[in-house]
A and B are shown apart, each in its own frame.
Chain A
Amino acid sequence: MASVCLYFHVHQPYRIRDYRIFDVGRPDYFQSEAGSRLSNPDILNKVADKCYVPANRLMLELLNTYPEFRVSYSITGVILDQLLEHRPDVIELFRQLVDTGRVELLSETYYHSLAALYSAKEFKEQVDMHRRKLKDLFNYEPRTFRNTEFIYNNDLAKQVHKLGYDVILTEGADHVLGWRSPNFVYAPPGQPNTKLLLKNYRLSDDIAFRFSSRDWADFPLTADKFGTWVSAINGSGDLVNLFMDYETLGEHQWEDTGIFDFMRQMPAEILKHPDNNFVTPAEAAERFSPTAELDVPDYISWADIERDLSAWRSNEMQHDALNKIYKLEKKVLKTDDAALIEDWRRLQTSDHFYYMCTKWFNDGDVHKYFNPYNSPYEAFVAYMNVLRDFEIRLKASTK
Chain B
Amino acid sequence: MRVLMFGWEFPPHNSGGLGVACRGLTRALSNLEDMEITFVLPRRIPLLDNYMKIAFAELPGAQVKFREVDSLLTPYITSSIYADSLKYAGNGIYGADLIAEVVRYGEAARKIAEEETFDIIHAHDWLSFLAGINAKQVSGKPLVVHIHATEYDRTGGNNGHPGVIKIEKEGLEFADKVCTVSGYTKSIVMQEYGIADDKIEVVHNGIDESDISQAENALQTFSEISDGLNVLKDNGTKLVLFLGRFTVQKGADIFIQAAQRVLQYRPNTLFLMVGSGELEPQLINQAVKLGIGDKVVFTGFLRGKNRERIYSAADLFVMPSVSEPFGLVALESLLHETPIIISKQSGVGEVLEGAIKVDFWDVDQMVNMMVSVLEHSSLRNTLSQNGKQEALRSTWDRAAYRCKQIYKQLVAEQNLAYN
B376 in contact with A384 (CB, 8 Å)? yes
Q: Give the chain B neighbours of A358 by CB distance below 8 A.
A: 353-354, 382, 386
A316 in contact with B353 (CB, 8 Å)? no
B368 in contact with A375 (CB, 8 Å)? no
A336 on the B face (CB < 8 A): no
> Which residue of A317, A378, A380, A381 has the most chain B CB atoms within 10 A of its CB atom?
A381
B123 on the A face (CB < 8 A): no
Contact digits for B380-417, partner A, Cβ 8 Å, 1 yes 0 no = 01110110000000000000000000000000000000
From known contacts A21-B372, A384-B372, infer whether A377 and B378 are also in contact, taking CB-CB under 8 Å: no
B375 on the A face (CB < 8 A): yes
Contact digits for B344-368, partner A, Cβ 8 Å, 1 yes 0 no = 0000000001101100000011011
User: Interface majority SS on B: helix, strand, loop or mixed?
Assistant: helix
A22 in contact with B382 (CB, 8 Å)? no
Contact digits for B105-117, partner A, Cβ 8 Å, 1 yes 0 no = 0000000000000
Q: Give the chain A neighbours of B103 by CB distance below 8 A.
A: none
A331 on the B face (CB < 8 A): no
Partner of B375, one of A22, A316, A319, A384: A384
Partner of A317, one of B364, B368, B382: B382
Q: Give the chain B neighbours of A22 by CB distance below 8 A.
A: 364, 368
From known contacts A374-B357, A375-B356, infer whether A381 and B369 are also in contact, taking CB-CB under 8 Å: yes
Q: How far is the CA of A119 from the CA of B372 in the complex (A)?
A: 28
Q: How far is the CA of A378 from the CA of B385 in the complex (A)?
A: 17
CB neighbors of B among A340-399 (8 A): 358, 360, 364, 374-375, 377-378, 380-381, 384-385
Partner of A377, one of B371, B375, B379: B379
Q: How far is the CA of A41 from the CA of B376 in the complex (A)?
A: 31
Nearest-CB distance from B50 to chain A (Å)?
45
Q: How many A-B Cβ pairs are below 8 Å?
A: 60
A86 on the B face (CB < 8 A): no
A320 on the B face (CB < 8 A): yes
Nearest-CB distance from B358 to chain A (Å)?
10
Q: Give the chain B neighbours of A316 by CB distance below 8 A.
A: 377-379, 381-382
CB neighbors of A among B280-324 (8 A): none
B76 on the A face (CB < 8 A): no
Nearest-CB distance from B210 to chain A (Å)?
25
CB closest residue in chain B, given A374: B357
CB closest residue in chain B, given A323: B378
B382 in contact with A21 (CB, 8 Å)? no
CB closest residue in chain B, given A20: B368
Q: Give the chain A neighbours of B365 by CB distance below 8 A.
A: 20
From known contacts A20-B364, A21-B265, A21-B372, infer whether A360 and B353 are also in contact, taking CB-CB under 8 Å: yes
CB neighbors of B among A295-321 (8 A): 315-317, 319-321
B353 in contact with A317 (CB, 8 Å)? no
Q: Give the chain B neighbours of A378 by CB distance below 8 A.
A: 356
Partner of A21, one of B356, B368, B379: B368
Q: How far is the CA of A240 from the CA of B376 in the complex (A)?
A: 46
Nearest-CB distance from A387 to chain B (Å)?
10
Q: How far is the CA of A321 from the CA of B382 in the complex (A)?
A: 13
Nearest-CB distance from A185 to chain B (Å)?
41
> Which residue of A319, A364, A375, A377 has the most chain B CB atoms within 10 A of its CB atom?
A377
Q: Give the chain A neighbours of B375 by CB distance below 8 A.
A: 384
CB closest residue in chain A, given B262: A21
B378 in contact with A385 (CB, 8 Å)? no
Contact digits for B171-215, partner A, Cβ 8 Å, 1 yes 0 no = 000000000000000000000000000000000000000000000
Q: How far is the CA of A321 from the CA of B372 in the complex (A)?
A: 13
CB closest residue in chain B, given A377: B356
B357 in contact with A375 (CB, 8 Å)? yes
Q: How far is the CA of A384 from the CA of B375 in the complex (A)?
A: 10
> Which residue of A21, A319, A378 has the most chain B CB atoms within 10 A of its CB atom?
A21
Q: Give the chain A neighbours of B372 by CB distance below 8 A.
A: 21, 380-381, 384-385
Interface CB pairs A-B, < 8 A, 15: A21-B265, A21-B371, A315-B385, A316-B378, A317-B378, A358-B382, A358-B386, A360-B386, A375-B356, A378-B356, A380-B376, A381-B369, A381-B372, A384-B379, A385-B372
Residues of A within 8 A of B (CB): 20-22, 315-317, 319-321, 358, 360, 364, 374-375, 377-378, 380-381, 384-385
Known: A317-B382, A380-B376, A385-B372. 10 other contacts (CB 8 A): A22-B368, A316-B378, A316-B382, A317-B376, A317-B378, A320-B376, A358-B354, A364-B353, A380-B378, A384-B379
The 6 closest A-B pairs by CB, nearest first: A320-B378, A316-B378, A20-B368, A381-B372, A315-B382, A317-B378
